[in-house]
A = this chain, B = another copy of it.
Amino acid sequence: MADIIPNISIDVALFGFKGIKLEVLLIKRDKKPEMDQWSLPGGYVYMDESIKDAAKRRLKELTGITKLYLSQIALFGDTNRYPTRRLVSVLFCALIKPEQFKLIAGSDAKDVEWFKVSELGKLPFDHNEMINTAMLWFKNEIWREPIFINLLPQKFPLNQMQNLFTQFLGEAIDNRNFRKKVISQELVEKLNEKTKGGQQRPAFLYKLKRTI
């Protein structure tokens, strides 16, 4: 069980949403190369473990969560993507509700934290490209399989959902059309509750009718 595949790694882009800006989980590296830099959490694959199982394991180590939507997005195989040796990496993405778990900085991380996707600086290796690839992938999937709904809390106003969609699509959405669409597709169900404590008119809360 201790043996790892020497030239393959996995990286996990874990997205979360707390109502305003889409965020991605980064760890502060506690090993070389790129010691102390913030980067996507990665990991190796054991010899007797499938690639996907390695990603699941890594995700569990980070969040404690086991049952989760996890999708293989792309393969990064350029010769020079990793400085010290030839390493091919498989990118996985997952979407979580940050409220549901507590971050755990594993043995190879000094720290772990959420960063707003729109405010990221330069990350080590090809990790910026990985995040861009993931965002593009979500953008293409967004109406085919609205998996991003896993990011939303149990109850939420529709404007929050629309805000989330907007960030994936990278462009404005007409709110009337948006409401019609999510209701006609039976993605959401209206509740008899409203938001409280805002400075403006309270909004009805909705819950998801589907899970993926």
Contact = CB atoms under 8 A, between A and B. Distances in A.
Contacts of A20: none
Interface string A65-93: 00000001001011100000010101000
Contacts of A90: 75, 77
Contact of A50 (B6, B45, B78): B78
Interface in A34-87: 45, 47-52, 72, 75, 77-79, 86
A5 interface: yes
Interface of A: 5-8, 45, 47-52, 72, 75, 77-79, 86, 88, 90
B88 A51 contact: yes
B86 A5 contact: yes
13 contacts: A5-B7, A7-B7, A8-B88, A47-B86, A48-B79, A48-B86, A49-B79, A50-B77, A50-B78, A51-B75, A51-B77, A72-B75, A77-B90
B78 A75 contact: no
B77 A75 contact: no
Contacts of A8: 7-8, 88
